[in-house]
Structure 1
Amino acid sequence: MDTPSVTPAVFSQRAQKLTSSAIREILKITERPEVISFAGGLPSPEGFPIPQLQAAFNQVLATQGATALQYGRTEGYTPLREWVAHDLSREGMVIDPEEVLIVSGSQQALDMLGKLFIDPGARVLVEAPSYLGALQSFSLFEPQFQAVPTDAQGLVPEALDDDITRGARFIYALPNFQNPTGLTLSLARRQALVRRCAQLGLPIIEDDPYGELRYAGASHPGLLQLGRAVGATVIRLGTFSKVLAPGMRLGYVVAPRDIISKLVQIKQATDLHTATVTQMAVYETIRDGFLQQHLPKVRELYQRQCGYMLDALKQHFPADAHWTTPEGGMFIWVTLRQGIDTTQLLQQAIARNVAFVPGAPFYAGVKAPTNTLRLSFVTVPEAKIREGVRILGELIGPATVAAA
């Protein structure tokens, strides 16, 4: 008997425009054990506090199991929201727990903010380059991306003139150890950015997943703190993925109450609330100051890994290559000489069992250069870092005479 044909599903126009994440597609290749992967922005499993989390889950289920396994408030577990508000007070702010919304990873927050602010064709300001996950999330709502120029010091606030900002719904920025460049926005530029956005009435989405991972240099006040001092609207995204473990999918949004109220309504239509048992276990883990003991070890690990890669780049990359020197986080951004296409270089590298992410997908609203790439260093052992960078250096080839 012939199998009856199935009528194809009719997808929405929005769904038809979706594309897969370039990084996720590369990660499929890196599942092969022989591949040295500098591609994924994955925290090091060496930094996962497994015994502490296991004990916390056991404690929560043993003493508050009925509550932990029940539906919860959309806003989030109240003690955890209070902890976030108190933790941010270390930066000199007074945050009300009602200004905190717990979400299922900060990626969910990006999706919700897209739903809140973006109409088809609306202008959205992003750094060039910017976090690919945010670009992918915002793209679902069909914005008009406007790239904000950047240089070796990061986003250039002076570029926010009337032409660039006209009609913009928000500007999205990562001031600490930016993904993908690893750059940190200076204090002067932070101050200029919040002042300009206050003048324009332009909301800032401050995405800060890496802020606790500083291992060099002096820290700067966040955009939320600086913005509140001058009347700017700043929406801050934070996550427990980088300080505890990403598999729990737990993050938070801090914003004015009117914005939180709307985000709560959006979240109710999305997933009702973030997993109660996870929120309670995370709170049980961190409530007595555990992160102050745990994070120095993670920072030391990441600094060591970063040092291995910087040393290898100096040894094996050509003299006409340039790269960032991050003060924290997980990424190094490399700019190669003109004429090299890093998408083609990736195919050559994969043939030699090395993977990275070409730079072009990190750009929106501007023509992407073809000669950039992102390297992630935190999950690769020292010997493989040196071997992988050596192979890439061979594929890139020596510096050209013109560059010399």
Structure 2
Amino acid sequence: MRHRALLWYAFVCLGLLAGPGMAWAAFTAPPLSEWQAFTSRYLGADGRVIDTANAGISHSEGQGYGMFFAAHFGDRRRFELIWEWTRANLSRSEDSLFMWRFDPHHRFPPDSNNATDGDLYIAWALLRAAERWEVPEYRARATRMGRDLLRCCVVESQGRRLLLPGAAGFRESEGVIVNLSYYAFGAIRALSRAVPDPDWAALERDALALMRQAEFGRWRLPPDWLFLPASPGSGPTLAVGRPTRFSWDAIRIALNLAWTHPEEPTLDAARRFWSDPAFNGRIPAWVDLRSDRVAPYTAHAGVQAIYGLARARAGDGSVAPPLVADAPDYYGAALILQARIAAATPPEAPAFIPLPLPPPAPPPERRAFGIGLPVIPWRLRPLPTEPAEPNWARPAFLVPGGPRATPPELVDRSRR
């Protein structure tokens, strides 16, 4: 045991000496056992990735995550299993994209719309698998998906190239609804190499510019859902009729930025929110961007993994990573694996001239003992336990067709 402790200590010190962000990567690159833990909990024998927080349904997002993880860990058998189930059950007749939702309790799918984030991950996984196992058919399918994504899910508004959350349902006469967490920059870059087109670089550049505009509330955070008015000169606003929160979707904005754009101010804003001394070491699950009210319960392990990654990208690798077993559901486990893979992946150069960074915003002034001293927590308190409502563990409105399971105050039975 003593030798193990000394080896672990030396490994951590080596990571700390390696430079900013590497301390996290040095001792948290996910081992194969983490993938095995994921498959034992959330992968069915037929290749279906099961959303345990939403009555056992599945999504193209989950299938894409599963394929991506399988390719990363070199698990060809499970990759093919997940891919074959996805093709058999989620394929769309009108293009090479995939239906966003599968409900095992209904024979026919209630909504054939796609979800762009799921398609991006499926295509990204296919490209990785094609390279790893030399399967030309995987690359050919990913190439077709890339072309269809550009054709069906990319629009122009006010001179910006925008990624729609789905092919249908997000364009209105007054403007466009977007979900900034759907911009998986790693997938976009991979597809830009497989399907050369200037729209990919434009999507990434305009998304970063939009994220810098989408600053709401005390902590200047982006929302889960954003509305872009069609009228020239109008800035983005919080989407009407949807939760006005930095929550279960928007946390992936921080994940995507930490993966490829660790210097972006939006990532810094999320990091400041999660580490606000007012929370005494407790990370709230969400914050309402109109009222600044935070969740009364703690964010699950998936959010804590993204927080640890965000701190590591700033040079602080002191946050121990959660494990897949710590997650309350499939989504939290998927975030943990993504954060740990991202930590071990050096950011690559973008395919465009980077936008100049704005001056950093001054932190909100806090006073201690009546004098102008910063309030610094002397220790991180133990995180309280999340409420015992497993179906509310991910109160997300993943779209295109209906709300996911939500806490009572967000339940809306109307079709999205």
> Which bracket does the TM-score occupy, shorter chain normalised?
under 0.3
Which structure has the higher relative contact order (CA within 8 Å, separation 6+)?
Answer: 1
- Normalising by structure 2, what TM-score? 0.26
Q: Greater Rg, structure 1 or structure 2? A: 1
From the two aligned structures, give the one with the greater strand fraction: 1
- Normalising by structure 1, what TM-score? 0.27
